[in-house]
Structure 1
């Protein structure tokens, strides 16, 4: 850390000050309802495919549009997210996202045709596109530095939980009833926003001084001394407010190029290691590997994601971001290679009895490795590295890159598997190897630093 330890103490919970954490935890709990809705939204099309097609007489192509249009909505939401969060505040952006999701879920619930389904899916996509940016940013801006990584990782944990709930509950209820899993948390989020403070850093940025001080005091506890932290935040914001108004082109200026490279690079690697291709088409992948059914592998994948993401959350502020990323990408490399070898053996008729077990083990290692680091850490770092004057633009751009990569991988995965199943996983392994080099050379460690310290250090290294 660049500042002295005594200057940092007000950022930490004080001894005996359990109340100082209560509002931070409550605010995080409200925000990650959006993450849960995110998980439900992207998982909804998997368990409902046959039921919706049968009830509404949809063709495969019509259902494919329904399944994929969420990504288009999310891209638009990602583009709008930074400006929305800067203009209306972090709470305002979450409120707008929740409203979009409510409209979308109601349209799906009452759907009698493909048009209503697609409209609802698009609306939920827009909502989760905004959520994917604003939730980790809001948590990072309210959390004490000693807890920021773990609390921000709850974003990914709740996404995984939403996915798991959707996969499991979706096999037990009708597709219309499954809508409740996304609708109720969206409504609860809007209600919860009335009881939590706005981000103090955003309030300071827009000049709402009195509200800034009240919000910071509520988050740190009524007996906490927040004077030093408040002064640090105001000083940093005053410094960057003297800079010209930022535009997209400024991301590529020397002052901001390093955070842009780190943010974009992590999101590119997060998607192009192949995660969404594997998640979206897990069942077919296991069948291709020699299983009679993909159910066992899919259930095991669902069971390990949330617990291992929780372990990553606990380790985030102890081990640091970089070690988790390196462990994660190394495991992804091993899992991809095992999966590639299993398909290679099957194609050449070698060790056919062992092939399904090798494939299952490889994909489970892959999913576990992704869950402990690569799933959550890029979002944590994204929320930390951009100065507040360019955070909206930078965060929107990085989130758009993420969703664009998600669409590209999910769209191309089946074509790649048709070309060469073993070759597909060898390509993913190569991407993992390049990701390891990128993390070693470019990604900074942000554990134990204030947001202002992180951003100042990255700016100084760019000049």
Structure 2
């Protein structure tokens, strides 16, 4: 049995599941062009992910009209993306281990392309749902493989910035869908959804495979070529290569964790924190509000097109700020500010629909609704969007990280499906009641973060995990 403390000491230059440091002499001579190019190609998958998430909001009215869909049928269409993503997320780990990171990206791109074509050609609900399910599967794979691939190819000094590009491009893709959805027909938007997938497929021919995966499968020749290509042809990569191989050997010595192992006492608090944050992230209402923002604005009497454009701009700007300041502000403060903003946003939206329902000060309803929704998305983008994933990557020890990560990802997508499917039914039941429910969940999230979530800023992984288990 290998002691995790020994792993940390041996591997403090590598820092857990990351590519190791190289010498200062090598750093000065490094050419990171291929790292940037590889990251650009990979985050085309993140952008595709975002376009799928944002597609159902601006297109709702036109799809329902053109295909004569009921509320239940459109709710299924909107939410089945997350069901497909749930399947893709479960399959993504074994797929990326068997086919490689590039192979998994190719497969997921193929699913997305097939899905968008099915949506474009759909003449009824069945092909429409099948296409949405296929794109969801591809996006579920992207949600795991893209950040893993970036983390494995990036030098340490660039890893934080480049990994943050994943979340930023998801938000950008969502925002682009919101904006162009106000201008284009839903079938044209489906064709546009093909573009990032096509760029990804072509780009994969020009970038190397993850050196770490190549080392894991024992492909020495391709490993050397890939590492050299990423670091620059004139860089001596022998030290980096030795560290990667040593780290892979260490991982192979560890026992393979099973799902039931996560419920041992030493892992239980980490599991509660990881799963709890994902439950609050989803059941706080994000996918219901994001998927159906257009109908929310319209129901409140505000211009859906203007609301979508403002929503899109705010999401990108605030997500960018989050990426820049997450290491300075700390995880816990961002989560608390985020959940507070989401709760207040829900309360404002609830107030808007309440006064509209009971014919009280009707002129104020649209302003309250748009202020509430925009405050909500600002709050979400400040912390609850990205920080739970960062904390999840930090709190699990190396021997259970893959199993625990799979469980947390599954919970996240299951919650996303439940919220996106039930939103229209809840909204029909009670517009203001729906937002009051989401507000209550976000208040509970604040209490959860205060009580259980640790601050992990500027701590080593060993310190974080020791603090959680004691």
Q: Which residue in the other structure is 2:174 paired with?
A: 163
Give the length in aligned residue pairs. Answer: 459
SS of corresponding position for 1:168: helix
Give yes or no for the alignment of 1:127 onto 2:134. no
The aligned counterpart of 2:465 is 458
Q: TM-score, normalised by structure 1?
A: 0.85
What's the offset of the Cα at 1:214?
A: 4.5
2:194 and 2:37 mapped to 1: Cα distance? 20
1:307 aligns with 2:317: yes
Cα pair distance change 1:269/1:60, threshold 3 Å: closer
RMSD between aligned residues: 3.5
Residue 308 of structure 1, CA deviation: 1.5
2:46 equivalent to 1:35: yes
Deviations 1:87-123 (A, max 9, x none): 2222222111111112222223333443332222221
**Quick check: 122-131 or 380-389, which moved more?**
380-389
**2:175 and 2:311 in contact (8 A); partners too:** no
What is the CA-CA distance between 1:30 and the residue it aligns to?
1.0
Distance 1:216 1:460 in 2: 35
- From 84, 89, 100, the counterpart of 1:73: 84
**Alpha carbons of 1:27 and 1:441: their partners in 2 closer, same or farther (altered >3 Å)?**
farther
In the other structure, the counterpart of 1:361 is: 371
Shift of 1:310: 1.5
Conserved 8 A contact 2:397-2:465 = no
Residue in 2 that maps onto 1:96: 107
**Match for residue 431 of structure 1 among 407, 423, 441:** 441
Partner of 1:202: 213
**How many angstroms does 1:274 deviate by?**
1.0
Structure 1 pair 6/424, CA: closer, same or farther in 2 (3 Å)?
Answer: closer
Mapped to 1, the partners of 2:10 and 2:257 lie a distance apart of 31
Match of 2:409? 399
Query: What's the CA shift string for 1:330-386, capped at 9, x where partnerless?
Result: 322332333334445555655543343233222211111211222122234445555
Out of 41, 47, 59, the position equivalent to 1:48 is 59
In 1: Cα distance, 2:374 partner to 2:190 partner:
29
3-state SS, counterpart of residue 204 of structure 2 = helix
Q: Per the alignment, in what secondary structure is the counterpart of residue 197 of structure 1?
A: coil
CA contact under 8 A between 1:157 and 1:306: conserved in structure 2? yes
Cα distance change on mapping 1:433 and 1:184 into 2, 3 Å: same
Contact 2:154 2:162 in 1 (8 A): yes
Unaligned runs of 5+ in 1: none
| Residues in 1 aligned to 2:272 and 2:359: alpha-carbon distance in whole angstroms | 44
In structure 2, relative to structure 1, the CA distance for the partners of 1:327 and 1:50 (3 Å cut) is closer
Instruction: Provide the residue aligned with 1:178 in structure 2.
Output: 189
Task: Output the CA distance in 1 between the equivalents of 2:455 and 2:10.
Answer: 18
Say if 1:98 and 1:186, in contact at 8 Å, map to a contact too: yes
Q: Is the 8 A contact 2:75 2:422 kept in 1?
A: no
State the partner residue of 2:339: 329
Counting only pairs closer than 5 Å after superposition, residues 46-445 of structure 1 correspond to structure 2 as 46-56=57-67, 58=69, 61-209=72-220, 211-222=222-233, 230=241, 233-254=244-265, 256-289=267-300, 291=301, 293-346=303-356, 350-383=360-393, 386=396, 390-445=400-455
Distance 1:111 1:413 in 2: 24
Q: Which moved more, 1:38-47 or 1:139-148?
A: 139-148
Q: Alpha-carbon deviations, 1:155-185, whole Å to 9, x = none? A: 2221222222223323333333222222121
Q: 96-105 or 239-248, which moves further after superposition?
A: 239-248
